[in-house]
Amino acid sequence: MFKRFLALFALTALIFSMGVSIFAEPVENSEQSQQVEQDEQANDLSEPHLPTLQITLNSDGTTDTTFNQQMNSAELEQTLPYVEQSFTNMGYTVTKNDNPTSLSISKQYPAEDGYVLDFNLPYNVGMYEFVEFKEFFSSRYGIKNSSFNLENQPEGQVYLTITVNTPVKPIHSNAQAISNGGKTHVWTISSGQKNAIELNFKKINIVPTITAIFIAAVLLILLFALTKSRKDAGNTLPSDIDASADEIALTEEEMELFEESDENLDDNLELEEILDEVAEEAGLDINEELSENFDTEDTAEN
């Protein structure tokens, strides 16, 4: 723990001294300033840059954190042993970069840890997790942090830039600069400011979404097949009816015979009516006589 504190103190002191040098008064003599620039180039010195903390929230749920500080070769060689000794034991990877000359400290957090903002670099502020709201088809992530609140300090000092890359375009972000289609968010940590970080985004859950789409596709295919089979069955029904109608329908000759038989039947009925009328006038009952004749014929036959 003491070694970690010592490394953080050395790194912080280095950053502070480099920041102070930015505001140093310029050399009045132009010749002296040119000579200083030549000496700096000869000694591989470069103008100090602002430290950067880059955090990438990956689509698979992992989080990549990288702190980078540019410095000259002498400062790098002096600081590197302390940083390696402290941060390597905590799972960080310390890298020495040559072009430009800089020191990088990086670490990846697994998906099981959730999305995190590692503010332990370089000021040991702490590590903060995103709040997760799980839904069936999506998950919402959000964070609101004011760990770098420097409102009590005089304004004018810039300490750090924090860049957060999100997997999708967020719903809300109070970043001072947004780029990359809304996926890259930059905050500048300055004295005299609250330096609040607010970020809220929504990510689609791939597995449930694909499963739901697959089930919907299968149901649509089954519905289409059922509708098509019913339609085909409806198309075959009239042909069956026509076939049975053909079997029942009479030919023209049969229809003529049927009509002739109807006419003969009508004529016989008219003849019977005339005979009945004549018999009534003569006082005879034709039906009784016909029945007696039939009975006599039956008796004779027997």
Q: Render pLDDT for 178-212 as a digit per residue (tens, 0 to 9).
A: 999 999 999 999 999 999 999 999 988 766 667 77
Last-in-domain residue among 177, 204, 231: 204
| Count: domains in the chain | 2
Domain that holds residue 244: 209-301
User: 252 burial class (0-12, 13-18, 19+ CB within 10 angstroms)?
Assistant: exposed
Last-in-domain residue among 185, 204, 223: 204
Distance, in Å, from the CA atom of 197 to the CA atom of 175, rounded to the nearest integer, reads 7
Cβ atoms 247, 240 nearer than 8 A: no
Q: What is the pLDDT of residue 210?
A: 77
**Does one domain contain both 159 and 175?**
yes
Q: For the segment 132-181, what is each residue's pLDDT rounded down to a tens digit?
A: 998 877 899 999 999 999 999 999 899 999 999 999 999 999 999 999 99
**Does one domain contain both 151 and 218?**
no
pTM: 0.58
**Does one domain contain both 90 and 223?**
no
**Around 284, how many Cα atoms within 13 Å sit in the side-chain half-sphere?**
10
Mean pLDDT of 243-258: 56
The residue whose two tokens read 């006599």 is 296
- For 254, residues 6+ apart whose C-beta sits below 8 A from its C-beta are none
